[in-house]
Amino acid sequence: MARIIAVANQKGGVGKTTTAINLSASLASARLNTLLVDCDPQSNATSGIGLGKDPLRNSTYKLLLGECDANSALQKTCLEHLSVIPADNNLVGVNFELIDIEGREFKLRNGLAPLSERFKFILIDCPPALDLLTLNALVAADSVLIIMQAEYFALEGISALLNTIERIRAAFNPALEIEGVLLAMFENRTNLSQQVTAELKKFFGDKLLTTAIPRNVRLAEAPSHGKPVLLYDPKSRGAESYIQLAKEIIQKHNLSGSVAFPEAAQKEEKPVEEAREEKKEGEERKAANAPRGWRRWRERNKLITIDLT
């Protein structure tokens, strides 16, 4: 059964889409089949994962309107275990087109139901509004991942979201949990962020996730290359922090796995070792009838695997 997580905060620009893209990519790199659902008419998750904005393609919009089924809306991405249901700006019309339709709050839940066995995680990127799209995401979800910045007024904006979650529990989705509260664009060094973090810890307790995402320019650059940061710059602090977040979530749900990412740099070796290696390479190369340098090339391009268990 898929764990469906809505990535939400009605406040704009806090890091929802960056988290939806990079957390789903990190989960997928742990070889857990993961789906990213773009539920925002801005379609930033769609373009950030490398897909163009095509209004004719099957999409979240068509899924919500019952014009396509979920399986036919799946698009492949640059990661083997990551699929996406893309959005385009037609999606903005859903708020009006579904307004008088019975069961309008359940459209996404029903639409995603056939995918439950196919994926381990389904992440829904929500728009910056408490509108019918976010409502659909929260009704479809098992849990909500709240993205926040460690700002002075952070908690004020969050009360509207917590009220909405309460109302959705009462009316549509009693099992809706808080997956966690994630601090994004975090600057550990400032006194203010330390103070705000302490306040948030008091308020949210265990729900405040141990991992915080630092402000990191690679995270801001990656979407313009249509890649998750894991592929754009796997050694950046941004990539490391989202892998750490994936580990935290995987461990929370007792799912074992491993994270694999391309490793560019090679280990420094002692000259004696180097000579021995060269000799070995020569022999292996001869045996495999391969060109000079093939072994080093193979080493450089192999996938490094980190155990999460």
HSE value, Cβ hemisphere, 13 Å, CA-based, for 69: 5
**Segment interacting with ligand ATP (CB under 6 A) among 9-17, 72-80, 89-97, 130-138:** 9-17
Nearer to Mg ion, 48 or 234 (CB): 48
- For residue 24, state whether it binds ligand ATP (rule: CB under 6 A): no
13 sits near ligand ATP (criterion: CB under 6 A): yes
- The region of 14-22, 51-59, 78-86, 243-251 touching Mg ion under the rule CB under 5 A is 14-22
Judged by CB under 6 A, the number of residues near ligand ATP is 18
Task: Check binding of 193 to ligand ATP (CB under 6 A).
Answer: no
**Smallest separation, CB 201 to ligand ATP (Å):** 20
**Single residue of 2, 5, 15, 243 touching ligand ATP by CB under 6 A:** 15
Per rule CB under 5 A, is residue 149 in the interface with Mg ion?
A: no
287: its two tokens: 């045996």
- Residue 3 interacts with Mg ion (CB under 5 A)? no
Using rule CB under 6 A, residue 22 touches ligand ATP: no
Stretch that binds Mg ion, among 39-47, 64-72, 283-291, 293-301 (CB under 5 A): 39-47
- Taking the complex as a whole, how short is the minimal distance between the CB of residue 82 and Mg ion, in angstroms? 18
Q: How far is the CB of 129 from ligand ATP (least distance, A)?
A: 9
Residue number, 16 or 81, with CB nearest to Mg ion: 16
- State the binding partner of 136 from ligand ATP, Mg ion, none, CB within 5 to 8 A by kind: none
- Binding residue for ligand ATP (CB under 6 A) from 215, 237, 285, 295? 215
User: How many Å is the maximal CA-CA distance in the chain?
Assistant: 76
Binding stretches for ligand ATP (CB under 6 A): 12-18, 40, 42, 44, 128, 184-185, 213, 215-216, 219-220
